[in-house]
Amino acid sequence: MKKSQNMLTLVIVIGVLAVLGIAAMDQFLFKKSLTPPPAEAEESTSSELPSDGLFRIAASQSEARFTLGEVLGGEATTVIGKTNQVTGAFSLDFENLQDTELGEILIDASTFVTDNSYRNRAIQNRILNTGTYQLISFLPTEIAPIPDSVEFGESLTLEISGDLTIKGVTENITFTANITPISATQIEGHAETMIAYADFDISIPSVPRVASVDEEVLLEIDFVALLDE
């Protein structure tokens, strides 16, 4: 009888430890799943930039968008997808603008939302495949023209060229940007470009109510960048 009781006790202890182990693993995986990739990406975008004069994009005050037209149910419709999950940084010295350096800009594609939940799921699962390709990146390689000086509140129009990567496909594109230094600690801007999404191996699934979809999409970003103090 005593041997049976000991055996029963051992089984109970093993069972409790197993449950606790599973619970701990679930908690670990749950916490891990809540770690936002853009936060990690934000550190990587500025790792090679000088720390002096380092400006970071403030996601809470910024927005990335895509816009394209489609014919839905016989009516022309404009589709707009938005997200504020944008990270990036650049180094700028107002006394020597020629030394300006731009870091990589990352957009969390899995957070794009439109005015339709069904479309949102199609974008994530079938169009952008965000489970595999979560981030859209733009790595600037050239800025022109860079002025010799700039006044606070004065807007500048620049051409920013670089490598845009979507779904693992990289193409060299150019954004037209309107940049305004608000103060020594804040810069605001708007940049946009048109791309043919087929160039990035993106296809739009055929849906009965959608008669046609534009072949080009407008990409835009409105940002506020603050001095990293």
pLDDT in tens, 81-128: 999 999 999 999 999 999 999 999 999 999 999 999 999 999 999 999
- The count of structural domains within the chain is 2
**Distance between CA atoms of 170 and 19, rounded to whole angstroms?**
47
Instruction: With a cut of 70, list the residues of the chain below it in pLDDT.
Output: 1-51, 211
Clarify whether residues 102 and 190 are in a common domain.
Answer: yes
pLDDT for 209: 72
Clarify whether residues 199 and 89 are in a common domain.
Answer: yes
Clarify whether residues 70 and 17 are in a common domain.
Answer: no
Clarify whether residues 22 and 58 are in a common domain.
Answer: no
**Distance between CA atoms of 4 and 1, rounded to whole angstroms?**
5
pLDDT for 62: 98
Clarify whether residues 89 and 140 are in a common domain.
Answer: yes
Q: Could you give phi then psi for residue 36, rounded to 5 degrees? A: -75, 125
Q: State the CATH number of the domain containing residue 132.
A: 2.40.128.110
Clarify whether residues 180 and 160 are in a common domain.
Answer: yes
Answer for the pair 111, 83: CB distance below 8 angstroms, yes or no: yes
**End-to-end C-alpha distance for the chain, whole angstroms:** 72
Domain with 143, as residue range(s), is 37-227
pLDDT for 204: 86
**Distance between CA atoms of 142 and 98, rounded to whole angstroms?**
12
Clarify whether residues 26 and 71 are in a common domain.
Answer: no
Clarify whether residues 207 and 140 are in a common domain.
Answer: yes
pLDDT for 74: 81
Clarify whether residues 26 and 92 are in a common domain.
Answer: no
Clarify whether residues 95 and 21 are in a common domain.
Answer: no
Clarify whether residues 65 and 4 are in a common domain.
Answer: no
**Distance between CA atoms of 128 and 167, rounded to whole angstroms?**
7
pLDDT for 137: 98
pLDDT in tens, 192-202: 999 999 999 99
Clarify whether residues 191 and 161 are in a common domain.
Answer: yes
